[in-house]
Amino acid sequence: MSVVTRMAKAVASELNRDQEFSVPFDATFSVKPGYELKELDTIRVIVVPKTLEIERVSRISSKYLVTVDIGIMQRLGKMTPDEAVESLGDLVDEIADFLSDRPLEEFKAATFVSLTNDPIYVPEFLTQNRTFMSVLSVKYVLTA
């Protein structure tokens, strides 16, 4: 199994460990995320492998920079777009805070580097599909 796949699975597992989020969810690992709109009536948190960068540190070791994406999606239901951005945006912030500087129980060699939230939400999805979608990209480093 590739290092990026192992890392993504470890992130999904970490999100499911001892949750104290305002909205309960089950994070799932996927290599090919995709849902029908009717499947988004409940919140979906999908973790996918994104990128691998390898930098030579010395003749015998390399630094691996691994990025994992976390998609947070849900149909609005009775929420207005403003309410969805506020409440689900709070959950996105909670997940970001949870993962920041947190060691991964299932991948102890990895060290948190950075996290970005891009897009914070997709305006077209809110208006056209009445669906909230946000993506967190989490970067970890390990040296081998």
Residue corresponding to tokens 């939400």: 121
Could you read off the pLDDT of 35-65 as tens digits, one per residue? 777 778 899 999 999 999 999 988 999 999 9
Domain ranges of the chain: 3-143
Instruction: Supply the pLDDT for residue 35.
Output: 77
Rounded mean pLDDT of 85-109? Answer: 94
Could you read off the pLDDT of 58-95 as tens digits, one per residue? 899 999 999 999 999 999 989 889 999 999 999 999 99
Question: How far apart (Å, rounded) are the C-alpha atoms in residues 97 and 100?
Answer: 5
Instruction: Supply the pLDDT for residue 1.
Output: 65
Look over the chain and give the mean of its residue pLDDT values, rounded to a whole number: 92
**Does the structure show a pLDDT above 90 at 137?**
yes
The more confidently predicted of residues 101 and 72 is 72
Quickly state the pLDDT bin for 132 (edges 50, 70, 90): very high
Q: Cβ contacts of residue 39 below 8 Å, gap of 6+?
A: none
Q: How far apart are the first and last CA of the chain?
A: 16
Instruction: Supply the pLDDT for residue 18.
Output: 75
**Does the structure show a pLDDT above 90 at 12?**
yes
Instruction: Supply the pLDDT for residue 56.
Output: 92
Q: Cβ contacts of residue 75 below 8 Å, gap of 6+?
A: 37, 40, 41, 129, 130, 131, 132
Residue corresponding to tokens 């991948």: 107
pTM score of the predicted model:
0.92
**Would you tell me which CATH number, out of the four given (3.40.50.300, 3.30.2000.30, 3.40.50.360, 1.10.340.30), belongs to the domain 3-143?**
3.30.2000.30
